[in-house]
Structure 1
Amino acid sequence: MKQTYTANSGQTFTPELESVFTQTVPYTKAPDLPSKEGGYQFHKKWQDSDYIMIGNDEVKFLEDVTPQMIDWFFANMEKAYYLWAPGEHLGFQWEAAPNEVGYEGSTEYIFETNHFLPVHMKRIGMENYPFTECAQHCWIADGTFGDTGYGMRLIHMYEQMEGGTKWITIKLAKKSELAWIQNYRSKADPKKTLEHNEYEAGRFRDFLPAIYDLWKDHPNPYQNITFDLRTCKNSDGTWSHVSDNKPIISHINSK
């Protein structure tokens, strides 16, 4: 009999409009840090692309959280997605789990408070990172709204600071899709959207150090995934991850 680990950790997927339990929990706002002076500059390879930044970079200080914890979280989101933003993270399941495909191509299917459609978040390689400067760690994904084909590119970057982590969020969209996205986002409560970003950043210290510590010595690398999302600059000024973050092949076969 072939046995495999299913990366769901008991999570359930309930679409937002069917969920009546949407209460949030108290949290402490993560302190703001200055945005990058002068903004982020597109690498020459991307200057004629269809992508533009949506707003400015959002920069926070995550006290008592390390970049290694965040690397682990992005590989093991089924263990803590609902703890990240209780009452606003309403549905989660892996479509392609990291233990099967590794970092690149891993995809989750989510519902959050302001989404009227499910969002497919697919991690993509650093060859899709468009800027000349990058933080020490980087997670980059394409989000698609339902089956529309429209979406946004989301970048989370982070690096060690004394006492915690500098957390940077950047959103990108294609100029050709901007009108559709603006119309879609106009249906949402902009105050709730902003507060959701604050909620996520503020919640990290409440759950991540504790759950990371619980899992850190779990011996099965197929159940306890490790990503190394540290970055390095290439000779042409583009960026890569230092690790290929390939999947662990660890199926158990027995008769």
Structure 2
Amino acid sequence: MIYSVAHDTLGTHVDWQLEDVTARMIDWFWSNMEKGFILWHPEQHEALQWAVPPRHGDPRGSIHIAPQTWNDGRRQNLYIRFEKLEDVPGEIRDYICYEHVAIVAGLGLGEECLADPDPLGYRLHQWQKTDSGVVGKSSAIGTRKKESAEDGKVWATHCMQEIGNWEVFLPQLHALYKVVKDPARNPFADLSVEGRGRAARYTSIA
């Protein structure tokens, strides 16, 4: 993995490159996170559960429960929702510059956040194919809960481990699950977009 980290007035951004990982594999991962969540960050992740599972062909509105402990020692039982692009603030969508996009919102730290969801902030992940794999960018942007540069550094360390581990396990995991043809147990959604910034729209999700 090759990466760099930058901070600006809106948030923290990690630019990254991976070898031997395809854009389709990463698309698949977002609908099948429970299959590889511990592998994504073995030192800090616990088993993932779905509060609202993704639908085959469309993960928008799905909510996963992601218990984890970061480098600063905080254990968080995060509820995270996969967003519709049009529901995300425009200044966040302005960062969309690659061909595949997943934007998720951190709703809170317990089931009570499902009653009246109001995102604490967003994580924008985007990627596209290269000759040897994929290139991408991941961004952490606080909204209701502002994130300092120090918060961003903690997140970036966590994020770099996650993204780097895709190189280690994702090709093999994706290949293993090709045998499962039932879309209820092995869903897939094409996360490619047309347009960039606020004009980005999913090409295969109505």
Letter of the aligned partner of 1:96 in structure 2? Answer: V
Question: What amino acid does structure 2 have at the position aligned with 1:232?
Answer: E
8 Å CA contact 2:34–2:48 kept in 1: the answer is yes
Aligned to 2:187: 225
Residue 13 of structure 1 corresponds to none
Alignment of 1:234-249 (within 5 A): 238-244=199-205
1:117 aligns with 2:80: no
Under a length normalisation based on structure 1, what TM-score does the superposition of the two structures give?
Answer: 0.66
Pair 1:32-2:32 in alignment: no
**How well do the aligned residues superpose, as a CA RMSD in angstroms?**
2.9
Letter paired with 2:145: E
Aligned residue in 1 for 2:136: 167
Q: Quick one: distance in 1 between partners of 2:61 and 2:103?
A: 11
Contact 1:92 1:110 in 2 (8 A): yes
Alignment of 1:124-135 (within 5 A): 124-127=83-86, 128=88, 130-131=93-94, 133-135=96-98
Q: 1:53 to 1:95 in 2, by over 3 A?
A: same
CA distance in 1, matches of 2:34, 2:75: 22
| 1:4-83 alignment, distance < 5 Å | 30-32=1-3, 53-55=10-12, 57-83=13-39
User: Is 1:89–2:40 an aligned residue pair?
Assistant: no
Higher helix proportion (structure 1 or 2):
2
- Equivalent position of 1:106 in the other structure: 62
1:238 and 1:132, CA in 2 relative to 1: closer, same or farther beyond 3 A?
farther
CA distance in 2, matches of 1:93, 1:112: 12
TM-aligned CA deviation for residue 100 of structure 1: 7.6
1:99·1:223 contact (CA, 8 Å) conserved in 2?
no
Deviation at 1:126, TM superposition (A): 1.4
Check the 8 A contact 1:110/1:118 in 2, yes or no: yes
**1:33 Cα offset (Å):** 5.8
Q: Which ranges of structure 2 fall in alignment gaps of 5 or more residues?
A: none
Specify whether residues 215 and 151 from structure 1 end up closer, same or farther in structure 2 by C-alpha distance, changes over 3 A only.
same
Aligned length: 192
Q: Which is richer in strand? A: 2
1:193 is displaced (CA, Å) by: 4.0
